[in-house]
Structure 1
Amino acid sequence: MSKLKILFLFIFVFLLQLQLEIYSAPYTGQIIKLRLSNGEVVKVKVWGNEFYQDIESLDGYTLTHDPQTGQLCYADISDDGNEYISTGIKYNDKESLNDKIYSNDPIISQKLKKLRKNIRINKNKIKEKIQNRKKNLHKYFNQPNIQTKFYSYLSGSSLTIAPRPDRYFERIGNYTGLAVLIKFPDEPAVISKNQMQDYFNKIGYNDFGNKGSIREYFRDISSNKLDYVNIVTDYYTAKHPKSYYAQKIGSGAAELITEALNYFIKMNFDFSMLSTFDNGEVIALNILYAGPIQYDLGSDLWPHSSGIPAVYIPGTNKYFSRYQITNIEEEPIIGIVCHENGHLLMGWPDLYDYGGESPGLCNADLMSSGNWNDGGRDPVDTNAFFRHAAGWANVIDLDSSTKGTFYIEANNNSAYRFLNKNKINESFYIENRQKFGRSFTMPGVGLTIWHVDWLGSNDNEQMTPEQHYLVSLEQADGLFHLERNLSCVDEKDFFYDGNKTSFGSNTNPNSNWWDGTPSGLNIESISALSNNMSFQLTDQPQVQSRLNLQVRNIGQNACNSNVFNIELKIINNDQRPIPINSLTVKMWFYSDNNININGCWGGIIYTSSGNYIGNINSFVTSELMTDETKIENDRWANREVTISFNGLEIPGNGGYVQGINLQLYRGQWLTPFDDMCNDYTKIVNNILHENKYIALFENNLLVNEWVSNFEPDINTGIPPYLNTKTPTPNITLTPTFTNTKLITATRTFTFSYTFTSTKTPTFIRTNTATFTKTATYTPTPTKTRTSKITNTFTPTITITNTLVATHTNTIIQIATYTPTSVLSSIKIQYYTSNLNDITNTIYLNLRVINNSNSSIPLKNISVKYWFTSDVNSTDIAENDYSATSSNFYLNPYVTLNINMINQGGQDRVLVIGFKDNSGYLNSDEYAQLQLRIHKNDWANYKQSNDYSFGNANYFIDWQKITGYISGQKVWGNEPENLSTSMITKDNNIYKKDLYVYPNPCSNNAIIKFFLSKQSDININIYDINSKMIKKIYIEKQNSRLGANEIYWDLKNDLNNFIANGIYILQIKIDNEIYTKKIVVLK
């Protein structure tokens, strides 16, 4: 061969290799065997992929390779959270960590007691390690993604067979790959060559529980359009031990593969039957090595797909480069090899999230973690887009002009495509998936809608125009739990009659393109589940708002009466019912005095036809806003009033709740409520109407209503602040310049003056002044303000400056103040991984979310889970995993209060708290906890008896788990019977010695009781809805023997006077609880 030809060929091969990418199958907690450098084989749980792995013991403790001993040891985390540190305590899969804790070695026991389950290093460090691994693996390549090559993507006319997208490789016909079997001097083969031939090629294969061979899998998902077989070699014995190749990160696999190929070339192996690309590269090279994965500190032999420098077959233009490598277990499974051959054969990319921030398509696709379905023995099919790209799917194009009823059969490679004519990389694919064939392990069934953008990546879970998945499953329940990393795919993510029957620009999820523009795809009347489903394509409907809030004034005068009195109505136009406790209504007022709550009554839920469903409870809070804010010329706000609800769901399709009546007053009862007629929420109309000055929220998010032109409708309410409640600059004055200024304001402000001159530099001066009332401005300025001043005040601020008086100067004055503190708030989300009614283990997955504007010390937070013991044996609580969303790992304490209460039929409560050194939970941050409760004898629980148990397999707001800050309940509802006497012993006080007088009371109340010994005293006062309104704490040293008297001014913890009604006084001393009823009549 001439030197010119050799040079040309070298350049050609090099350019081809530039397109190689590294892929691997994901691990999501599967139990696998690892072979350590000392030769030991252990079982572990694995999360991760070729680029990064987290290894755990079978009982959930993180492990790491100890570089000094070569052993797999229990791990702790470095002080900066960036690395795992070996404890030096060897892992043994035959015993749990608890077994080791109670061993005879006190040093080991002390170390292990400090360990926490499921610990992880910082997410940013994981991303960094992934990127470094990508660079180092085959680092002699510059490897952009193989999918960067763009091909023509033709658009088809309506109702014609759609052209195949040429972005990936078409695979129709017969293809032959090579399967190279490798063993090691220290790792013999346990699976024979004949067994591996059957594994790859046999029709009717079912060894080791597999549902077919590799060949059968691809025949099935291609509707017999691809017949893929492999020539299987004899076992080659590697030159070195397995650990030699595993430890050479970035080159070990390439060295092993090259070594094996050169051996078979030397042995004149017949490669003539192998299928190649046009350039001679062998399409499919499968490397299968004997035994478990070799694991040291990482492993170059971790199953993956990538490329090596070209190895040529002499006398031909054929060469090897792209490959996949997998280990051969004692019971081989087909899932991983099917996944890796998806890369080799068709060029499909991974559809999982490398960084672990989301599960990608999780268990719903071969190219995510669906290769592990049924333990990897029955991997699920891939999506319609990939099958279309491979040339297997019969796809019909739709567009916005297409109307009518359409039918689609299940699992037969039929699909509809709706193409974005302006961006050919984007489209929707619609198919019918049912539980048979290669969709038998699909986690749900029904009409399946994929949103495809081949410029995206399933490493991007952000759901923004710039960052989103390559293939997204349109999750019919609208919860987006894949992107939000809440759970995997379930049956509620598919469309069918009985779940969700429409998909369009006005639904959730919607059919808009990623840039937010309407696609024109509007699917209605989706049929019930069947092997031949139907749906209708219609014009975009003229829809009502999904949730509609109406209000009317029922007071005498909207502005200057002594009470603010309104009625509310909420209408649910969505198809699904909406829990009333997920909704809140907010209003905003301006007042120098407190906004006091006289009451919030009524609220009855009806169906759209007026059938009674049930009553609701309403709760009202008032708090001072962070900043005064003015949104319009005559509307101001500095106080926010929130109404929350408790009760049943509002039925869909026009169900409503009406008769919610609210009464507020300001300061004293006779004070005019809105004397200036300038409150932000100023309701004048006495007929129910939509009003943009009162807002409706669902799960703390402002509800977006929509009209037919796809523009947002503002009548759900505009909060009078931006997301951060930051007001615009406050006062701008342009006076004639003098050295003494008199300025009007209302509070103690700090003013920053900026002087600008065309002839001299800018000066910035800061002065502080306290103002007193007057009615004078000197000089009279032109003013624009966005912080309200209801009276005029005269401060005197003397400013010394050197500016020439004839120069033009501008004074900008910015007024700020610090408000009183706002009560911290949390909410609790919950799901369980065990929905079985009869079970020996209660599994809890909790998120404690700080939804206030300030940080909360974790040590002040506690959570209670209420349940029944069912049988008389010891309950044990275990914390499996705890961390904040900022990846700060926690070590909470969990205690079980047993037989101390019998509240609402519940005789157990799990109390979860956090240690003093746990730090803070910042605003919008959450602490995530994974907990278990079980008996010491593993007896069963009946979860339907448990108050806090919920039928939720993804995170939901859950009011039956209660949350507390400094002992005060701020979230959820405790079991009923709270007002019932809970006296268990009478060691400290007697009920007959607990007094409240006067009772009924109008102005104040005296709480009197007698102590037999000094004790810490917790006094909690609840309204009739079991909502804590007041908390009083007396330390032991401040209590006294004999008579104790506590004065209560009838104000709640927000310093607002309470309304008339019945309240429950609860006094807790040590473990004893005493109650008394208080009647307030003013």
Structure 2
Amino acid sequence: MFSKKTDRICQERHLHPSVYKKIRKTRDLIEKGLDPEEFPDKGGLDLRTFEALKKRRQDQKQTMMNREEKLVSQYGSLEAAPLTVGPCKKIEPVIGTRNVLVLLTEFKDVKHSHDPLEFEDLLFSKGSHKSMRDYYLEASGNQLDITGKVNEEWYSAAGNRVDYVDEVPVNRHYPRARKLVKETILQAKNEGKIDFTPFASDGKIEMLIVVYAGKGLDTGLDINYIRPHQDRLEEPLEVQDGIWADRYCLVSELPFNDIGCYCHEVGHLLGLPDLYKEGYSPVVGSWCLMGIGDHLNNGRTPAHPSAWCKIHLGWREPELIKKPPEIQDIPAVIDDDGVIYKLEVQGSGGREYFLLENRQQKGFDRYLPGNGLLIWHVDESRCVYQAPNSDPEHFFLTLEQSDGKNELQRDMTVLIKEEGVEVAQKELTGDDGDAFPGVTVNRNFDDKSNPNSNSYKGTKSLVRVNSISDSDEVMKAHMGVQTQSRDESRETPADAIESSADETAKLVLQSFIDLMIKEEDEDPYDEGYEAGKLDIIEEEKIKPDLNLFKKGYKQGYSQGYIDAWEKFRNTK
């Protein structure tokens, strides 16, 4: 049984904290042999709910297995299955203006705390309040402008809050919550004050948000709270001649300044899937809005969508690299000249690939757990249903973490038991060991590195990203698809060494096996880089055009230029 502190950390990091806490407590009570009727009074679930949750998880696993078996039976393998369904199916670019209708509703027993005008500022103001509109303008590179209207008053639900709580979703749907949404839409229709025309496209309301009074399940409270989500009505509802309501997202009023939840759920309306593994692992962590990046800074400044999401929505066109490795500039993706590089796994038909983006802690990304080069591993053969990261044995989209620990994809409860609470508390959502080069100063991503660039099948992808520079607004890396032997490809061309003709390099040997950087006028034995033994003589002067890799210098310590030697003016 976990300690109380461990349980607290699990609860905080779990996607449904209150549910997790009660499940853990119920399991403990069952092990102790207590009477099930006592469970709710002792912080657990009633036995009926516990068994229903347990069955739901078993059913989800079986459903996933059935889908995979069907695809394998039909196409021979998952990799061969066509991408005709699921979030990987190509969609039209999500650009231009999207007009959102926001309806507010409160319960008999839970009343609202904020006026409609406050929601106008929170969601649709521009430039001053860090609104949802500001977020999507920045994330899309000013290609998507989300405007909207909030109804002028709060509607009143027919029941209490608990009447609309779905303890166990049915096939990923929420029948009771749908009832709340339907009631709210009908009140808006019957009141007759809203013209639904500006919000419709092809006869359907394109983007509908229903906000309910009080807090939601995502705040870690009692299980008798409504979970924010995106869904469809059981049947489309006609609200005006030829105009129908169908898709919606349901969000809680509190905490009020949390735009992260709005941005995440609207992301679903735009065409993005969840990228976490429910009840298991964050998978992409805080590095993506559709993981748990919507919670950064308590939801006030959610993280940008990941590189794959931006490509999927048509906000970025990746630069495909098929050539042998060469030095590339990597401007921060948040900037106007930002770039996403794509390198395909050889033999995958383009379905498995790596995406590279430079993420910096600024703008809405300023609360990221680190900064630097993110390397995403994508396998679109796994993206055949709306929960593409549901299989922990083979995820659709993962982050290659520079420290090689792979915490984001591991079972969070196992991670806590193995690594300890204090370590796991940070690592479960992402840390400064994820981006390259990171705290481990890992400058290589290839078939021999950790993590490596091999395919999910374990074969060599031939993808190489070496000499990764320090994190900066514009980073550099020696990247491409290997077409030669490893030893040859490890050699960096001389013009990659940034130096001028009037400079020389003086290598300072610390010992027979170590080489360290020597800054001018500093003791050569001060702390510095250790790069291994070079095939040179002590104090040998190296001219700028000499390729040091041919003298045994380890490429893993370069940044597109040689960093373990002192540059100084040649005074002769």
Calculate the TM-score normalised by the size of structure 1. Answer: 0.37
| 1:622-665 Cα shifts (integer Å, max 9, x gaps) | xxxxxxxxxxxxxxxxxxxxxxxxxxxx976569xxxxxxxxxx
Residues 1:383 and 2:302 aligned together: no
State the alpha-carbon separation in 2 of the partners of residues 86 and 378 from structure 1.
Answer: 42
Equivalent of residue 162 in structure 2, options 219, 239, 243:
243
Q: Does 1:354 align with 2:272?
A: no
SS of the aligned residue for 1:455 comes to: helix
SS of equivalent to 2:451: coil
Question: Does residue 413 of structure 2 align to residue 490 of structure 1?
Answer: no
CA contact (8 A) 1:82 1:125 kept: no
Instruction: Work out which of the residue numbers 511, 529, 536 in structure 1 matches 2:453.
Output: 511
Cα distance in 2 between the residues matched to 1:124 and 1:517: 42
Structure 2 CA distance for partners of 1:151 and 1:225, relative to 1, 3 Å:
farther
Distance 2:304 2:367 in 1: 9
Distance 2:515 2:255 in 1: 63
Cα separation, 1, equivalents of 2:353 and 2:298: 32
1:535 equivalent in structure 2? 477
- The residue aligned with 2:231 is 306
C-alpha contact (below 8 Å) 1:52/1:130 kept by paired residues = no
Partner SS for 1:291:
strand
2:473 aligned partner, one-letter code: N
Query: Which one-letter code corresponds to 2:106 in the other structure?
Result: K
Task: Name the structure 1 match of 2:29.
Answer: 77
Instruction: Indicate the residue corresponding to 2:544 in structure 1.
Output: none
> Residue in 2 aligned with 1:227?
145
Q: Could you tell me which amino acid in structure 2 is paired with residue 449 of structure 1?
A: I
Matched residue, 2:123: 200
Structure 2 residue aligned with 1:181: 104
Are 1:215 and 2:118 an aligned pair?
Answer: no
Query: 1:610 maps to what in 2?
Result: 513
1:924-943 equivalent positions in 2, closer than 5 A: none
Q: Deviations over 1:261-288 (max 9, x none)?
A: 1121122221111143x5x332222110
Which amino acid in 2 is paired with 1:609? F
CA RMSD of aligned residues (A): 4.1
Question: 2-side partners of 1:259 and 1:152: how far apart?
Answer: 31
Q: Aligned in 2, Cα 1:435/1:172: closer, same or farther, shift over 3 Å?
A: same
Task: Answer yes or no: is the 8 Å Cα contact 2:121–2:131 preserved in 1.
Answer: yes
Distance 1:306 1:396, change over 3 A: same
| Contact 2:212/2:252 (8 A) holds in 1 | yes
1:258 counterpart residue number:
182
Q: Is the 8 A contact 1:393 1:415 kept in 2?
A: yes
Residue 449 of structure 1 corresponds to which residue in structure 2? 375
Q: Is the 8 A contact 1:252 1:301 kept in 2?
A: no
Determine if contact 2:157/2:184 at 8 Å carries over to the other structure. yes
Unmatched 5+ stretches in structure 1: 1-27, 32-43, 65-74, 92-114, 116-122, 137-143, 154-163, 207-211, 463-467, 545-605, 614-649, 656-1082
Contact 2:514 2:531 in 1 (8 A): no
Q: Which one of 56, 69, 81 corresponds to residue 129 of structure 1?
A: 56
Find the counterpart in structure 2 of residue 335 from structure 1: 260
Q: Which residue of 1 aligns with 2:339?
A: 414
For 2:401, the aligned partner's letter is Q
Deviations along 1:763-782, whole A, 9 cap, x unmatched? xxxxxxxxxxxxxxxxxxxx
CA distance in 2 between partners of 1:29 and 1:82 (Å): 20
| Amino acid in the other structure paired with 1:77 | L
**Larger relative CO (CA 8 A, sep 6+): 1 or 2?**
2
For the residue of structure 1 that corresponds to 2:137, the secondary structure is: helix
CA distance in 2, matches of 1:88, 1:52: 13
Aligned counterpart in structure 2 of residue 473 of structure 1, from 399, 405, 425: 399
> Given the superposition, is the C-alpha separation of residues 83 and 522 from structure 1 closer, same or farther in structure 2, using an over 3 Å criterion?
farther
Larger strand percent: 1
Change in Cα spacing, 1:293 to 1:414, as seen in structure 2 (3 Å) is same
- 1:274 maps to a residue whose letter is F
1:369 maps to which residue? 292
Name the CA shift for 1:496/1:83 in 2 (closer, same or farther; >3 Å). Answer: farther
Letter in 1 for 2:57: I
Checking the alignment, whether the CA contact within 8 Å between 2:166 and 2:177 is kept in structure 1 is no
- Quick one: structure 1 residues 168 and 513, their matched pair in 2 at CA, closer, same or farther if it must change by over 3 Å? farther
Rounded to whole Å, the distance in 2 between the matches of 1:132 and 1:82 is 27
Shift of residue 243 of structure 1? 2.0
Greater fraction of residues in helix: 2
Structure 2 counterparts to residues 14-29 of structure 1, below 5 A: none
> Residues 61-100 of structure 1 correspond to what in structure 2 (within 5 A)?
76-79=28-31, 86=38, 89=41
Shift of 1:483: 2.3
What is the distance in 1 between the residues matched to 2:299 and 2:240? 40
Residue by residue over 1:475-523, the C-alpha shift from the partner in whole angstroms, topping out at 9 and shown as x without a partner, is: 1122222223433322222223871112112222111221222222112
Rate the CA distance shift 1:248–1:77 in 2: closer, same or farther, 3 A: closer
Go from structure 1 to structure 2 and tell me whether the alpha carbon gap of 1:484 and 1:341 turns closer, same or farther (over 3 Å shift). Answer: same
1:460 lines up with 2:402 in the alignment: no
The partner residue of 1:432 within 358, 368, 371 is 358
Match of 2:327 in 1: 405
CA gap 1:537/1:244 in 2 versus in 1, 3 angstroms: closer
1:888-938: per-residue Cα shift (whole Å, max 9, x none)?
xxxxxxxxxxxxxxxxxxxxxxxxxxxxxxxxxxxxxxxxxxxxxxxxxxx
**Structure 2: which amino acid aligns with 1:398?**
I
Q: Indicate the residue corresponding to 1:643 in structure 2.
A: none
Residues 433, 447 of structure 1: 8 Å contact kept = yes
Amino acid at match of 2:512: S
Q: How does 1:247-326 map to 2 (within 5 A)?
A: 250-268=174-192, 269-276=194-201, 278=202, 280-293=203-216, 298-299=223-224, 301-313=226-238, 316-326=241-251
Say if 2:257 and 2:299, in contact at 8 Å, map to a contact too.
no
Once the two structures are superposed, residues 284-306 of structure 1 have per-residue CA deviations (whole angstroms, 9 ceiling, x without a partner) of 22110001237998447211111
Measure the CA separation in 2 of the matches of 1:338 and 1:290.
18
Report % sequence identity. Answer: 26
Q: In terms of Rg, which structure is larger? A: 1
What is the CA deviation profile of residues 154-204 of structure 1, one whole-angstrom value per residue up to 9, with x for unaligned ones? xxxxxxxxxx97535531000012111001222221110000111110113
Listed as ranges, the matches of 1:616-1015 within 5 Å are 653=532
The answer to whether the 8 Å contact 1:379/1:438 transfers is yes
Q: Counterpart of 1:254 in 2: which secondary structure? A: helix
C-alpha deviation, 1:220, in angstroms = 0.9
Query: How far apart are residue 248 of structure 1 and its match?
Result: 7.8
Letter in 1 for 2:432: E
Q: Which amino acid aligns with 1:476?
A: S
Taking a change above 3 Å as real, the CA distance of residues 514 and 133 of structure 1, as seen in their structure-2 partners, is: closer
Separation (CA, whole Å) in 2 of partners of 1:83 and 1:327 = 35
Name the CA distance, whole Å, in 1 between partners of 2:533 and 2:17.
51
Measured against aligned partners, the alpha-carbon deviations of 1:388-447 in whole angstroms (never above 9, x if no partner) come to 111111421111x34422111112352111134633332111111111112211111111
Query: Residue 227 of structure 1: SS of its match in structure 2?
Result: strand
1:580-603 superposed Cα distances (whole Å, 9 cap, x missing partner): xxxxxxxxxxxxxxxxxxxxxxxx
Other structure's SS at 2:181 match: helix
Residue pair 1:47, 1:53 contacting (<8 A) in 2 also: no
8 Å CA contact 1:247, 1:296 repeated in 2: no
- Confirm or deny: 8 A CA contact 2:513 2:532 kept in the other structure: no
Letter paired with 2:392: E
Per-residue CA shift, 1:696-717, capped at 9, x if unaligned?
A: xxxxxxxxxxxxxxxxxxxxxx
